[in-house]
Amino acid sequence: MKQLILFGATLALFLFGGCSSEEKQTTSNSPSFDEVFLSRRSIRNYDASKKISEAEVRELLKATQEAPSWANQQPTKYYVAISPEKLTAVQDMVGANKERIANAPVLIVSTFERGKSGFFQGNQTNEIGDGWGAYDNGLSNCYLILKARAMGFDTLIMGMRDSDKLRQLFGIPENETVMAVIALGYRASEPNYPSKRDLDEIVTFF
């Protein structure tokens, strides 16, 4: 009986010890929040040998649904170019950034629906109006680029884009404003750390 109890205790210790070790290993492999935003950069040179699957993009964009928005209106929409044909087409619509994102395996068009954020019962709530839609779109895109970095990916948000051609290519409705094209891929080299303004230049305490 004593041998049976001893065996059971040893087995439990082994099982629980193994789980604990595995959990610690998983945790240690996950980047901290500081590591995510401190290592994020706007990447202008992508590794052509590395691809990203549709399943990975879905996981990435799922995270954007956690971003806050005006009255939970969730005005942001995404159009994903992942096929060779669509990638080539979008590359011709981002101006001088074309060469910089030539090897990015995914290009994402970010838009927002007008008349939602910043409105109540169809009326503009304050002087910013649809500017709140752009604000919410920026919050959603922030979640996107940080989640991308947490997954080991890199991004470049591009404001130079031909909105009319993008609208036609993806069938984007007229009530949506095209904001940016976001390149998604893996950095081909380590970028420099850009200088930052002194904190006291951007913050005022009262």
pLDDT digits (tens, 9 = 90+) for 157-200: 999 999 999 999 999 999 999 999 999 999 999 999 999 999 99
Instruction: Return the pLDDT at 4.
Output: 40
Alpha-carbon radius of gyration of the chain: 23
What domains, with CATH codes, occur in the chain? 40-185 (3.40.109.10)
Q: Look at residues 168, 146, 170, 57 and name the one whose alpha carbon lies nearest to residue 104.
A: 57
112 vs 142: CA distance, rounded Å: 14
pTM of the model: 0.85
User: Does residue 12 register a pLDDT over 80?
Assistant: no
Q: What would the mean pLDDT of 112-136 be, rounded to a whole number?
A: 97
